[in-house]
Amino acid sequence: MKLWDSRFKKKLNKEVEEFTSSLSVDKKLADYDILGSVAHIKMLAKCKIIKEKEARKIIKNLKEIKKEIEEEKFIFKNDEDIHTAIERCLTEKIGVLGEKLHTARSRNDQIALDERLYLKEKIKKISSQITEFQTTILRVARRYQNVVMPGYTHLQHSQPILFSHWLLAYLEMLERDKQRFNDGYLRVDVSPLGAASGAGTSLPIDRKFTAKVLGFTKVAENSIDAVSDRDFLLEVGSASAILMMHLSRLSEEIILWNSTEFGFLEIDESFATGSSLMPNKKNPDIPELIRGKTARVYGELLGLFSLMKNLPLSYNRDMQEDKEGFFEIMEIVSSCLSISTKFLPKIRLDKERMKKMAERGETTATDLVEYLVIKGIPFRKAHRIVGKILKHLRDSGRGLKELTLPELRRFSDKFEKDALKRIKVEASVKDKTSFGGTSPKQVAKRIKDWEKRLK
């Protein structure tokens, strides 16, 4: 028997039954489904739509079902979805009384409710996972606070920076990610329950009451909208895609820096894997997989957008296909944050090599330009003078470090002895004292600030 088949003369085709079932996916929502049902029943009793005694019995049995599902004792049959499975089991337990559960409710508002309850919990978890990762980033930044490395633009040496400054850039990105999740939460935190199948109901329900019992801040104000839209999934999915983009870029850098060519860092053996063929290999599989899983998140998000873009209001069965991909997004995000938090402290820097590389590629040329600017030379002219110095050096196959004062003075008499000091990478970094710059003082301040903020 189906929840809906009394108007049908024929029995449902077996393959159609399988084709339309979502149980294997929405099983995951069982806890939230029962939570919603308990609140709904409490409301029905409070509004005198069912009797107190009936409500107590239904709730008691719903809790039993919850326990059976948790202990994997629940027997799923060929139920269409989790809502049907729970109602079927309730009716098996308490007979016709169980048939009152669905009063003033549809699976349309029920599934929207389950998804919102699920998502509220997930957002809280992800948000706290982001904080944990940020805290780890901060710890690693502290450990290597004054390590100098080359900064890059176009993947070419630009100017020397502090490794800790580079790492804190990711901490900032993660903060915005967290804000995006927390902001999305505000729009998830709205109860659709009582919208019924989309028109509302003629029964005297109290939607504010169920919303309150379930911990929702708001009640959806339009019953059609309440069952039709999945923008809250898209919003959190988008926040997830952006977060994954950040994790993926971090991963990419770690992969590069771990290569023999860069040689900036090494990954602990317990967090690397080998090759079945080449005994020499130690591979950075964790960041590679994060990079790979990012692609899956994008794919699932695009699927969700495509799913929704031409659905007429209100509910359409297409929307059943929203869950599998979305669950996957949430799982990938959580697992990537978790492994990143464990993985990052397992990198070991080769500080000497990083500094040595920071000295290559004339990375302090801009410091000479700024030196001249302070001496009153217009920036563009100073830029040209230093450009000529670099050309001269390149002709004789030497680096900035090998410059002498008399040589410098051939290009501008503004150069004095202290100009040579500015060429050193440590000095270059130290001089970047502008707010948010890479000077050790600025970075130390940021670290202190963050330590307070993340506490």
Catalytic residues: 154, 275
Least distance from ligand ARG to the Cβ atom of residue 111, Å:
4
DSSP-based three-state secondary structure for 27: helix
CB of 185 to ligand ARG, least distance (A): 22
- 226 is an interface residue for ligand ARG by CB under 6 A: no
Q: Which stretch binds ligand ARG (CB under 6 A): 32-40, 87-95, 211-219, 316-324?
A: 316-324
Q: Whole-number minimum distance, CB 318 to ligand ARG, in Å?
A: 9
CB of 201 to ligand ARG, least distance (A): 15
Q: Kindly list the distances between the CA atom of residue 410 and the CA atoms of 52, 257, 388, 415, 421, in Å, as whole numbers in the listed order.
A: 97, 39, 11, 9, 18
Tell me whether residue 8 or residue 435 sits nearer to ligand ARG (CB atom): 8
Q: Is 111 in the site for ligand ARG (CB under 6 A)?
A: yes
Residues 42, 107, 180, 432: which binds ligand ARG (CB under 6 A)?
A: 107
Kindly tell me which residue out of 22, 164, 251, 314 binds ligand ARG, with binding defined by CB under 6 A.
22
Least separation in angstroms between residue 266's CB and ligand ARG is 47
Q: In this chain, which stretch among 69-77, 311-319, 385-393, 433-441 interacts with ligand ARG, using CB under 6 A?
A: 311-319
Closest contact distance (angstroms) between CB of 196 and ligand ARG is 11
Non-local CB neighbours of 269 within 8 Å, separated by 6+ positions: 282
User: Helix, strand or coil for residue 47?
Assistant: coil
- Of 15 and 71, the one with the shorter C-beta distance to ligand ARG is 15
Distances (CA, A) of 393 to 56, 249, 273, 399, 408: 88, 35, 44, 6, 11
# of chain residues touching ligand ARG (CB under 6 A): 10
Report, in Å, the least distance between residue 69 CB and ligand ARG.
Answer: 17
Q: Strands 148-153 and 156-162: what pairing?
A: antiparallel
Residue numbers 63-82 binding ligand ARG by CB under 6 A: 81
What SS3 class is residue 154? coil
**Which residue from 34, 190, 226, 319 is in contact with ligand ARG, where contact means CB under 6 A?**
319
Q: What is the C-alpha separation between 158 and 361, in angstroms, rounded?
A: 8
Query: d(Cα 239, Cα 236) in Å, to the nearest integer?
Result: 5
Q: Which amino acid is at 172?
A: E
- What is the distance, to the nearest Å, from the Cα of residue 22 to the centroid of all Cα atoms in its chain? 26
| 26 near ligand ARG, rule: CB under 6 A | yes
| By CB under 6 A, residue 108 contacts ligand ARG | yes
Instruction: Determine if 320 is a binding residue for ligand ARG (CB under 6 A).
Output: yes
**By C-beta, is 81 or 359 nearer to ligand ARG?**
81
3-class secondary-structure state, position 334: helix
Half-sphere exposure of 353 (CA within 13 A, CB side): 13
Bridge-based pairing of strands 347-349 and 265-267 is antiparallel
Residues 104 and 378: their CA atoms lie apart, in Å, by: 76
Nearer to ligand ARG, 107 or 293 (CB): 107
Piece in contact with ligand ARG (CB under 6 A), picked from 147-155, 238-246, 313-321, 445-453:
313-321
Question: Do you know the residue count of the chain?
Answer: 455
Q: In angstroms, what CA-CA distances link 259 with 253, 271, 284, 286, 363?
A: 10, 15, 9, 14, 22
User: Does position 230 bind ligand ARG by CB under 6 A?
Assistant: no
Contacting residues toward ligand ARG, per CB under 6 A: 22, 26, 81, 107-108, 111, 315, 317, 319-320
